[in-house]
Amino acid sequence: MTTTAAWTERYTGALMNTFGPPKLVLVRGEGARVWDADGREYLDLLGGIAVNALGHGHPRLVAAVTEQLQTLGHISNFFASEPQVELAERLVALLGTEAHVFFTNSGAEANEAAFKLTRRTGRTRIVVTEGGFHGRTMGALALTSKLAYREPFEPLPGDVVFVPYGDLAALEAAVDDTTAAVLVEPVQGEAGVVVPPADYLPGAQRIAHEHGALLWLDEIQTGVGRTGTWFAHQNPALVSDRVVPDIVTLAKGLAGGIPIGACIATGGSGKLFDPGNHGTTFGGNPVAAAAALAVLDVVAEGLLDHATRIGARLKAGLAADPRVAEVRGEGLLIGLDLTEARSAEVAAAAQDAGFIVNAPTPERIRLAPPLVLTDEDVDAFLAAWPAILDTAGVTEGATA
């Protein structure tokens, strides 16, 4: 039995079967590369699902976490810590408008915090989009449209209305003076990187505000430089006009792999919670906050432009194969549609060839690699890409 097979067997014996069998057993990472239990090397083009912004084992992240843990590791929210306050200030500054922050440990928890915050408006209705993904806890799941995720757990918290994504007329029809918030992702990540028209977010903002509702952007996947700007709603390639959301939720890339989430609310929305309304034991933990500060520092040193440039190269290279029907996304959040519904086969063939990619739907491949991906990494993947499609049996046939 290989080492991988042995660990997989132990995994199956000890862990709940929520994720299906693991695709690999990984033991080590460095930069954009990881190694499995049998010593095979992979280029990680998924980055822990848009999490490992600095790649694996980045010395600045390791140093920040080590130093903070040696100084002060955890204190509870009865007390404040320096990294927590500094991180909140930094995020507000990046947002560019007055705001207040609540820290969590995950994306779902950031959305739970925001969901509760919207209830403090005195209204309950949330308008959300079909194909959106907001997390697996009961509240976040109530805001997530996919039936397979929802149905086994109904009844879910109510007063949630779904509208088609990217459709301002549908939003206009659904939002009224009872709406507490409109919740959208600037780009739908889990759906396979679906990009709305550039006037969608500005339009959603106008519609929400006409009815006194909050505009809540889930930037859990798109935030912290992923699309080449600090927030996707600030990306001129994605939005046609200035957008100032009332709520922004963050998580994934924020601390480069250390668990963290943030619910940020601007203006008066940032003051809707009173003491006792919400809480968390670990949220704002000094080690997680120090990790996030290190990520923000390193990303600020040129990784935004790097992600934009290298993402454009990757997109152009992938689109050159006629078996790719469409490529979408900005920076290093990239989705593509195959001419045939063989994405699982493509992901498997890519893995056999030493590349980790993700197949979020039967037709789509998603890439969310570390922002430190190099030109050489891109060259290596693009060189292997046609053969990966060959192995997966994708033809130029009719569009799936």
Catalytic residue among 36, 246, 252, 321: 252
Q: How far is the CB of 135 from ligand PLP (least distance, A)?
A: 4
Q: Which stretch binds ligand PLP (CB under 6 A): 8-16, 77-85, 107-115, 359-367?
A: 107-115
Q: How far is the CB of 395 from ligand PLP (least distance, A)?
A: 32
Catalytic residue among 103, 115, 133, 381: 133
Q: How far is the CB of 177 from ligand PLP (least distance, A)?
A: 27
Q: Nearest Cα to 371, choosing from 2, 27, 31?
A: 31
Q: Nearest Cα to 163, choosing from 175, 155, 171?
A: 171
> Active-site residue 252, yes or no?
yes
Q: With binding defined as CB under 6 A, does residue 283 bind ligand PLP?
A: no
SS3 181: strand
Tokens of 26: 């990984």
Interface mask toward ligand PLP for 132-151; x: CB under 6 A: -xxx----------------
Catalytic residue among 44, 218, 321, 337: 218
Q: How far is the CB of 300 from ligand PLP (least distance, A)?
A: 23
> Active-site residue 315, yes or no?
no
**Residue at shortest CB range from ligand PLP:** 107
Q: How far is the CB of 378 from ligand PLP (least distance, A)?
A: 23
Q: Nearest Cα to 135, choosing from 164, 174, 106?
A: 106
> Active-site residue 271, yes or no?
no
Q: Nearest Cα to 178, choosing from 98, 242, 119, 112?
A: 119
Q: With binding defined as CB under 6 A, does residue 256 bind ligand PLP?
A: no
Tokens of 252: 């994934």
User: Cβ(314)–Cβ(379) under 8 Å?
Assistant: no
Number of C-alpha atoms within 13 angstroms, CB side, residue 240? 11
DSSP 253: G
Q: With binding defined as CB under 6 A, does residue 218 bind ligand PLP?
A: yes
CA distance 244 to 133: 22
Q: Nearest Cα to 390, choosing from 322, 327, 336?
A: 322
CA distance 62 to 296: 14
| The 3-state secondary structure of 328-348, one letter per residue | EEECCEEEEEECCCCHHHHHH
Q: With binding defined as CB under 6 A, does residue 337 bind ligand PLP?
A: no
Query: How many chain residues interact with ligand PLP (CB under 6 A)?
Result: 15
Q: With binding defined as CB under 6 A, does residue 52 bind ligand PLP?
A: no
Q: With binding defined as CB under 6 A, does residue 345 bind ligand PLP?
A: no
Interface mask toward ligand PLP for 162-201; x: CB under 6 A: -----------------------x---xx-----------
- The radius of gyration computed from the CA coordinates of the chain, to the nearest angstrom, equals 21
Q: With binding defined as CB under 6 A, does residue 112 bind ligand PLP?
A: no
Q: With binding defined as CB under 6 A, does residue 107 bind ligand PLP?
A: yes
CA distance 99 to 104: 16
User: Cβ(368)–Cβ(46) under 8 Å?
Assistant: yes
SS3 30: strand
Nearer to ligand PLP, 19 or 78 (CB): 19
Q: With binding defined as CB under 6 A, does residue 363 bind ligand PLP?
A: no
Sheet hosting strand 324-330, strand order edge to edge: 324-330, 333-338, 364-367
For 202, counting Cβ atoms within 10 Å of its Cβ (0-12 exposed, 13-18 middle, 19+ buried), the class is middle
Nearer to ligand PLP, 7 or 360 (CB): 360
Q: Which stretch binds ligand PLP (CB under 6 A): 104-112, 262-270, 304-312, 349-357?
A: 104-112
Q: Which stretch binds ligand PLP (CB under 6 A): 120-128, 213-221, 311-319, 385-393?
A: 213-221
232-251 positions binding ligand PLP, by CB under 6 A? 251
> Given the rule CB under 6 A, which residues bind ligand PLP?
106-108, 111, 133-135, 185, 189-190, 218, 220-221, 251-252
- Residues with a catalytic annotation lie at 133, 218, 252
